[in-house]
């Protein structure tokens, strides 16, 4: 099937669906210029994310971890939603039962206007108190290091799911509910090979959904979906409502 015919088929599905679930990953943010944060420059070349994004790393050296997150926040502060993000907002407006699941922590979906979503890996612009557990929004750039909770003066940490931590049970419950009840699942900008996201496509398909993958390159899951379309999210997603 050609890309044009696959897009046409997907457009037809979306035009009549009443239940749409979307899963997004790094590929949709890359089109906004968001780097993958794999130590692209300077000091961070000496570290792997796994060495900084963990409870153990934070307990060992919270100042270093916050310096890394402050660097990430400074980069993300300059990024804006792209046409793919904005198209998903329009799809949310059109479809009665819509839910977006994102693996991204960059806040670009909420910034674009998406309201019905699960940020399953957290949000870099939110902080959580290590003492009282309160979660708040903090958009300070730069952020004070070390930041303190305004309620109890406890140490704040990024509200991010770190390596070795479990995803929020409520987020997972809502996500799987949306996957089991959707008519169409769009998988955008993610290879979908890391669990639990690796199970999302099969769950939707097992419950009768039409599953479409939009990604820059083929993935190990491309042969398992109904249509797989290669290209940039910012170019492909707007075509679905044009």
Active site residues: 121
Which of 119, 121, 91, 113 minimizes the C-alpha distance to 18? 91
DSSP string covering 97-138: EEEEEE---S-HHHHHT--SEEETTEEEEEEEETTT--EEE-
- Calpha distance 100→87 (Å, rounded): 12
State the pairing for strand pair 19-24/184-188.
parallel
Angstrom CA distances, 216 to 95, 121, 189, stand at: 26, 22, 7
- Calpha distance 165→121 (Å, rounded): 10
Question: Hey, what's the torsion of the CAs at 56, 57, 61, 63, to 10 degrees?
Answer: -130
Q: Residue 188 has which token pair? A: 């955008």
- Calpha distance 8→201 (Å, rounded): 21
- Calpha distance 22→88 (Å, rounded): 9
């Amino acid at each position: 099937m050609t890309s044009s015919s696959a897009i046409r088929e997907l457009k037809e599905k979306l035009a009549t669906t009443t239940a749409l679930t979307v899963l997004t990953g790094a590929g949709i943010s890359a089109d906004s210029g968001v780097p993958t944060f794999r130590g692209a420059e300077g000091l961070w070349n000496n570290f792997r994310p796994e060495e900084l994004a963990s409870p153990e790393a934070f307990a060992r050296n919270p100042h270093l971890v916050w310096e890394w997150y402050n660097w990430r926040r400074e980069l993300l502060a300059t990024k804006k939603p792209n046409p793919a993000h904005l198209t998903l907002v329009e799809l949310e407006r059109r479809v009665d039962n819509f839910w977006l699941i994102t693996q991204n922590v960059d806040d670009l979906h909420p910034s674009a206007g998406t309201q019905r979503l699960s940020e399953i890996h957290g949000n870099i612009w939110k902080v959580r108190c290590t003492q009282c557990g309160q979660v708040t929004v903090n958009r300070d750039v730069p952020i004070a290091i070390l930041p303190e909770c305004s309620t109890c003066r406890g140490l704040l940490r990024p509200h991010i799911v770190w390596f070795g931590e479990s995803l929020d049970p409520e987020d997972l419950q809502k996500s799987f509910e949306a996957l089991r009840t959707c008519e169409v699942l769009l998988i955008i900008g993610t290879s979908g090979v890391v669990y639990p996201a690796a199970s999302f496509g099969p769950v939707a398909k097992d419950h009768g959904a039409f599953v479409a993958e939009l990604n820059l390159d083929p993935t190990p899951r491309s042969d398992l979906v109904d249509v797989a379309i290669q290209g940039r999210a910012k170019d492909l997603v707007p075509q679905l409502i044009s």
